[in-house]
Amino acid sequence: MTARLQREFKGLQAKNGDWFTVSLVSDNILAWRVTIIGPDETPYAKGKFVFEFDVPSEYPFKPPKVKAVTKIYHPNIDSKKDGSICLDLVSAEKWRPQVKMEDVLVAIRSLLAAPGADHPLDADVGEQMQKDPALFAKTAAEWTAKYAK
């Protein structure tokens, strides 16, 4: 299984630089460090958000565990506790072996572009996003400037 993971890693490394970079933690193919640049025209624009991927040895039959290392003001990311991320694509119930790591990167960037407040992981941020979108955007931009440089 690690042969596929190594191919995917090398393919992504060849694409590094546009809106993401990938590297390994301690040269371990099962431990990835991914930096994603926040999408333009969002409160996360130009921010550099670091995520860690803990890839199980059963990959691609089990999904990677993804967590945000960079503090981020987002309803679907728990920056108060452990950086866990609410993303259906990597949930055990929704994961499919056909999904590639690049798909996971695209899904995370899409989550930055369009946060979902309907089923938030951080209820306070989700509530603010729904009740006062301008304050949410301002706070998210402030956190981006403070933590994601």
Three state DSSP letters for 12-57: HHHHCCCCEEEEEECCEEEEEEEEEECCCCCCCCCCEEEEEEECCC
pLDDT at residue 1, as a whole number: 62
Structural domain boundaries in the chain? 2-147
Residue identified by tokens 């390994």 is 24
pTM across the whole model? 0.94
> Which residues are designated catalytic?
86
- Cα-flanking dihedrals φ and ψ of residue 53, to 5°? -110, 120
Q: What is the CATH number of domain 2-147?
A: 3.10.110.10
Q: How crowded is residue 119: how many other Cβ atoms within 10 Å of its Cβ?
A: 11
Q: pLDDT tens for residues 35-94?
A: 999 999 999 999 999 999 999 999 999 999 999 999 999 999 998 899 999 999 999 999
Residues above pLDDT 90, as percent of the chain: 91
